[in-house]
Structure 1
Amino acid sequence: METFKASGIYTKQAHVNIPEGLYEEEHGRKGFFGRVSQLYHENPPVNWSNIEGDLKPRNLPTLFDHPDAQDTTISTLENNDCVVSIGTFNKSFELFYRNADFDELYFIHEGLGRLETTYGHLNYKKGDYIIIPRGTTYQFFIDQKTKVLQVESASEFEEPSRGILGPNALYDQTAIETPTAALGSRKDLKEYTVVIKRLGKMTRVTYPFNPLDVKGWKGSVYPSKLSIYDICPVMSHRYHMPPSAHTTYVCNNFVICSFVERPLEDTKHGVLKVPFYHSNIDYDEVLFYHQGNFFSRDNIDAGAMTFHPQGIHHGPHPKAFNSVDNKTHTDEFAVMIDTRYPLKPTKWFSDNENKDYWKSWM
């Protein structure tokens, strides 16, 4: 049982009717899933005048056209639990691929095509989450240039508990698509090569037949697809829901959340419409901006990524407070990755990031 205490000036309800001239910070544990307190500052906790050292908000601009990201994925952030990458597929895979290190999630930022796997085929389009269990052999067939956010996970991607919301909350189970059993479409080659990733190294295995030769399957391990546009957000006109309410997948030591278009909270109830300031004391936070008007962020385009590490405050840019009162809805779509243990930016991230991003709150 939590023992709530209070002192000084505070609100009756978190995120509602914040006292004039004060700024609310949420100081929480276990990301947005644990114990929490609200603090009421005289100044926004992001109004720094300088930061010296590595602990600062970071931003990777839209880089899907970068030469290093063509027809492959390139790692941006990683720890022992997950690897976050981006990439652009301009053409269909020539070889087959199997990941023996990680389960995989592909979020289709742009594009159209087909995924062929040992379980059969899945057509994909913009906004689709595709889950591929570890050890599945697959190929991408590209109909339109495909830009992807890839998350490799040391554990399985599982659905969150819906609790008192019931089984049809967030999305109906029929919104999840699974492969239709089918053989691989390529039949005209003398040799078929599977590239297998194991312990970070690649092994090539060659067959005289298409390895996607499964004529049927049953069970509870299989690829799946869910569109971000089919997600029904949890919301309240009188309370700003924390990101945990938007959880789409749960893995060991990290979660993936989906922010989708929705009505905003009702101004007449004094509800904070923009994300509240918080300090991420137990989790790193990554946001991938997919589509829409990202009103809480300045100079962020679709396809960009922001990284807010544990221990440094973050929250809306100043312009968000000036423009939000008259807004009745948001049309933004974004993917959030919250990790229990620190993520390490790769050299490629560091070489290509916007090094002045932290100054955008000043």
Structure 2
Amino acid sequence: MPVTNFSFQEKYQYQNGFDSYFESEAVPGALPVGHNSPQKPPLGLYAEKLSGTAFTAPRHENKQSWLYRILPACSHPPFMPLASTNISSPEKKLHYIPNQLRWDPFDHLPDTDFVSGLRLLAGAGDPTLKQGLGIYVFAAGVSMSPQSAFYSADGDLLIVAQEGVLDIRTELGWLLVRPMEICVIPRGVRYQVHLPSGPARGYALELYQGHFSLPELGPIGSNGLANARDFQAPVASFTEDHSEEGNGENAKKYTITAKFNNTLFQTTQPHTPFDVVAWHGTYYPYKYDLGRFNTIGSVSFDHPDPSIFTVLSAPSSVPGTAVADFVIFPPRWLVGEDTFRPPWYHRNTMSEFMGLICGAYDAKKGGSGGFVPGGASLHNVMSGHGPDMESYEGARNAELKPAKVGGGSCAFMFESCLMVGVTEWALDKCDKVQTEYSEHSWGGLKVHWKGGQEE
């Protein structure tokens, strides 16, 4: 039987801080002192470097970690391509259209695990060039096998839990991710997802290009938005199961699934991939509680651009422009005078994909055919959008007093400078597209023009 080194109480221990240097050892003395790769690492372990950036990246951008493990990750037979899957099917072809799109909540999938429950909804770019992103929804009804692991060579995966709990085991330790929490699994890190409280559903963004960072605060000052200390990285934990009898009929097999250029490959090995006894560095998975976000807003008139709600940003080569921003709209006070308080009507050079974790969004009405938890919307580059008619008329005629909006609610947005394409599954096969979204939202807008006369 495999031997684990942690108790239940020790399983979920975290180190705090974003973009920090961390070190962790599950067994005292497993981390070498003064050397990263000594001739003989402590305790008979192998030293393995996990690089998330080029060796020559500037020091402040460099993301590298050293892992000290029982067997290195290369110890496996060749990967073989899997047959057509949700990720690698011909339906991954993207369609670029200017229409506003909205989807009803996506179905739960009772017989699928996290990997088989990933559905590519939209994206742009090319993972082979390390450019662009992919946007997913996921639904899982069963845990991944404890003798399996998954990793993506295509990019970092930001997971937004919407319903259900994800108990994620990574090579570097455990992350418990609940609704109103997010996590980021870096490119190349192996993990498995368990469902301790039943079915789970949510959203994910795979970043092919660079890594997420905290946005600069500029005139806001040194405090506000997401604080670095509130991000959590796992502590080391491992399983000791490293049979060398890999060819026997009764030998235990661990299945490793790799995502490589949006295609799945698979291999088996006779030892657990979760055998990292100690690690140190700047490249690791992490989680964040969205309830700790310190919202900033106007206290006079108008309101700031939605960029003021940015939690994480992945910058492009153009200063001030992001390949992907992760933005949330949490409960907050609105106090602006003589101000249209919901988001105004706008056309944006950025693409905006929105999801709703819980509650109701203040600029769109819920109910049947509306914007509800588990659903999504996409407003592509320069596609006009804004409040629906009911929301507009209510905000236009409201008596403006200080009011708290979004109580018990949180919407989020994946925003990108890229023109986003949509998969055939998202357009035609999932049966969740709201075909009358545009007409329902803006077809009945009233004309308030008074021929040049004041109201």
**Same-fold status (TM-score > 0.5):** yes
Q: 1:135 aligns with which of 188, 195, 198?
A: 188
For 1:75 and 1:333, the matched residues in 2 are separated by 23
My pick for the range that moved more, 156-165 or 299-308, is 156-165
My pick for the range that moved more, 70-79 or 217-226, is 70-79
The sequence identity of aligned pairs, in percent, is: 22
Partner of 1:34: none
Q: 1:106 aligns with which of 156, 159, 175?
A: 159
For 1:271 and 1:85, the matched residues in 2 are separated by 35
Note the alpha carbon deviations across 1:32-75, whole angstroms, 9 max, x for none.
xxxxxxxxxxxxxxxxxxxxx94221111111326898741101
Q: 1:302 aligns with which of 334, 352, 373?
A: 373
Q: Does 1:356 align with 2:419?
A: no
Q: 2:350 aligns with which of 273, 280, 283?
A: 283
For 1:185 and 1:264, the matched residues in 2 are separated by 54
Q: Per the alignment, do residues 278 and 186 of structure 1 end up closer, same or farther by CA in structure 2, a change over 3 Å counting?
A: farther
Note the alpha carbon deviations across 1:257-313, whole angstroms, 9 max, x for none.
1111101234xx212211011111x21111111122223113221111111112221
Q: Does 1:199 align with 2:256?
A: no
Amino acid in the other structure paired with 1:241: P
Amino acid in the other structure paired with 2:107: F
For 1:191 and 1:58, the matched residues in 2 are separated by 44
For 2:221 and 2:379, the matched residues in 1 are separated by 32
For 2:382 and 2:393, the matched residues in 1 are separated by 27
Query: How many aligned positions are there?
Result: 307
Task: Show structure 2 runs of 5+ residues with no match.
Answer: 1-95, 126-131, 244-250, 317-322, 444-455
Query: Alpha carbon RMSD of aligned pairs, Å?
Result: 2.2
Q: Per the alignment, do residues 227 and 350 of structure 1 end up closer, same or farther by CA in structure 2, a change over 3 Å counting?
A: same
Pairwise CA distance, 1:348: 1.0
1:296·1:319 contact (CA, 8 Å) conserved in 2?
Answer: no
Partner of 2:415: 338
Q: Per the alignment, do residues 61 and 68 of structure 1 end up closer, same or farther by CA in structure 2, a change over 3 Å counting?
A: farther
Partner of 1:210: 272
Pairwise CA distance, 1:184: 4.4
1:92·1:142 contact (CA, 8 Å) conserved in 2?
Answer: yes
For 1:122 and 1:232, the matched residues in 2 are separated by 23
- For the pair shown, which has the larger CA radius of gyration, 1 or 2? 2
For 1:119 and 1:242, the matched residues in 2 are separated by 37
Note the alpha carbon deviations across 1:179-231, whole angstroms, 9 max, x for none.
12111498998111110111222222322111110111111111010111111
Q: Per the alignment, do residues 347 and 69 of structure 1 end up closer, same or farther by CA in structure 2, a change over 3 Å counting?
A: farther
Amino acid in the other structure paired with 1:150: A
Partner of 1:37: none
Q: Per the alignment, do residues 305 and 359 of structure 1 end up closer, same or farther by CA in structure 2, a change over 3 Å counting?
A: same
Q: Per the alignment, do residues 307 and 185 of structure 1 end up closer, same or farther by CA in structure 2, a change over 3 Å counting?
A: farther
2:207·2:324 contact (CA, 8 Å) conserved in 1?
Answer: no
1:85·1:149 contact (CA, 8 Å) conserved in 2?
Answer: yes
Map 1:1-362; keep pairs closer than 5 Å: 54-65=97-108, 71=114, 72-80=117-125, 81-94=132-145, 95-144=148-197, 145-155=199-209, 156-184=211-239, 190-238=252-300, 239-251=302-314, 252=316, 253-266=323-336, 269-280=337-348, 282-298=349-365, 299-324=370-395, 325=398, 328-331=403-406, 332-351=409-428, 352=431, 353-360=433-440, 361-362=442-443
Partner of 2:18: none
Pairwise CA distance, 1:166: 3.4
Task: Show structure 1 runs of 5+ residues with no match.
Answer: 1-52
TM-score (norm 2): 0.64
Secondary structure class of the residue paired with 1:321: helix
For 1:205 and 1:166, the matched residues in 2 are separated by 50
Amino acid in the other structure paired with 1:129: I
For 2:113 and 2:362, the matched residues in 1 are separated by 30
Amino acid in the other structure paired with 1:347: E
